[in-house]
Structure 1
Amino acid sequence: MTDSSKPAPQLGRRALMRSMLLAAAAVPLAACTVKDDPLAQQARAGDNKNYIAGDGAVEEYAVAARTEPVQITAETYQGTKVDFANYVGSPVVMNFWYAACAPCRIEAPHLRKLNEQFAGQVQFLGVNVRDEKEAALAFERSFEIPYESVQDTGGEIQLAMTQYVPLQAVPTTLVLDRNGRVRARVIGAVEESTLRSLIQTALDEEL
């Protein structure tokens, strides 16, 4: 007769732990996650409704489902003051990145081309989540990025963004509508054609 008061055998616990680790390993990582980031901790606490895992997963938000306009002030690596209140009237593309992130390097030429294509119509802003000034500027020079980025190694902007949309991973690209509300999110390296379509939709949208 088994004594139910005895603790479970150590072997059983080890087997359970192995099973949990194997299950975790089976989950695909489509982008460079920022595990120790306040943003990632906040995002993991969300309900992930309508979130589709995968590289370049796209989520678009109907007008009625959008949150309040993004309200952020910051300063770029070049010293330019950023206030999202000044962006109202134009769509905004926000790209969260860091220099050593492989998907960020893949998408950089696409972002450069689209910034040039939509110059004067759309605001582009990078948000660097890890790098100090020199590393970030070296990346921008290497990929000839024409728009500026703000430094967010402390996670303040990432944490602030969780009230608007969970970013989940880096890179993440957001498209804000002309009223400053998040209308689309791309998790992972963004395809040029995909982002072009999202930008054009934001430009054509009647609010």
Structure 2
Amino acid sequence: MTVGLVALALVLTGCSSDPLADQYREGSSKGFIAGDGSVTEIAASARGEAIDFTGIGENGETLASADYAGEVLVVNFWYASCAPCRAEAADLQKLNAQFEDNGASFLGVNVRDQAANAMAFNDTYGITYPSVLDVNDGGMQLAFSGSIPPNAVPTTLVLDKQGRVAARILGQVTSPSILETLIRDTVAEVS
């Protein structure tokens, strides 16, 4: 009986579809796992613990979760040679400018580049918000791995005023209005 249940479980597992695993198996050698743009919202009552992080920015400054206490934080995982990251950069910067001094801040997490490449990207795309350089230790990715992980690059997370993940866009932000709504809704939440 137990062997039959194990065999059935293996068969059923083989039938399920995992888009990220499928992308890997296709062998396209993209060099990255692309998200599908799916949006996940988490009800306030179902959010996990606050994310605690510290990292070094591209200008050598220390950036920490405590710096953003009491405000909504939009965290974007990216790297300079990522085509979807380049495609969404202008939209993210526009939203950053829109929400600056209006209840939300933006923070990038560069997962592959050193400071010079990150700063060149910022200059090219007019990015004014800081980024943590996560290439050497992966500390930022690790900090977020327990709640709703950034499984693809780019991934954009919206953290609530308590520092908990409220929403995730897995892949390129193709509709800035959706991200804008996620930010507005999170800013409007009563603490």
What is the TM-score of this pair, normalised by structure 2?
A: 0.80
Q: Corresponding residue for 2:161?
A: 178
2:99 to 98, 118, 137: 118
In the other structure, the counterpart of 1:56 is 37
Which TM-score applies when normalising by structure 1?
A: 0.74
Q: Which of these residues, 158, 161, 180, is aligned with residue 196 of structure 1?
A: 180
Q: Matched residues in 2 for 1:104 and 1:57: separation?
A: 16
Report what 1:152 is aligned to: 134
Letter aligned with residue 67 of structure 1: G
What SS does the aligned partner of 2:58 have? coil
Q: Is residue 2:44 matched to residue 1:66?
A: no
1:187: how far off? 0.6
Unmatched runs of 5 consecutive residues or more in structure 2: 1-21
Could you tell me which residue of structure 1 aligns to residue 32 of structure 2? 32
Identity of aligned residues (%): 45
Asked if residue 101 in structure 1 is aligned to residue 82 in structure 2, the reply is yes
Q: SS of 2:109's equivalent?
A: strand
Q: Secondary structure at the match of 2:168?
A: strand
Distance in 2, Cα, partners of 1:134 & 1:26: 31
Query: Residues 73-119 of structure 1, C-alpha deviation per residue, up to 9 Å, x if partnerless?
Result: 11211122212123121100000000000100111001000000001
Indicate conservation of the 8 Å contact 1:32/1:171, yes or no.
no
Distance 1:161 1:204 in 2: 23
Amino acid across the alignment from 1:193:
S
CA contact (8 A) 1:73 1:82 kept: yes
The aligned amino acid for 1:202 is T
1:32·1:103 contact (CA, 8 Å) conserved in 2?
no
Q: Distance in 1 between matches of 2:161 and 2:43?
A: 14
Of residues 57, 66, 91, the one that matches 2:72 is 91
Large movers: runs of 4+ above 6 Å: none
Counterpart of 1:64 in 2: which secondary structure? helix
Kindly report the root-mean-square deviation, in angstroms, between the aligned alpha carbons of the 2 structures.
Answer: 2.4
* Structure 1: unaligned runs, 5 residues or longer: 1-20, 35-53
Counterpart AA for 1:160: A
Distance in 2, Cα, partners of 1:168 & 1:152: 15
CA contact (8 A) 2:80 2:121 kept: yes
Q: Secondary structure at the match of 1:137?
A: helix
Residue 123 of structure 1 deviates from its aligned partner by 1.4
- Distance of 2:158 and 2:143 partners within structure 1: 16
Q: Which amino acid aligns with 1:112?
A: Q
Following superposition, the deviation at residue 26 of structure 1 comes to 9.6
Decide whether the 8 Å contact of 2:85 with 2:154 is kept in 1: yes
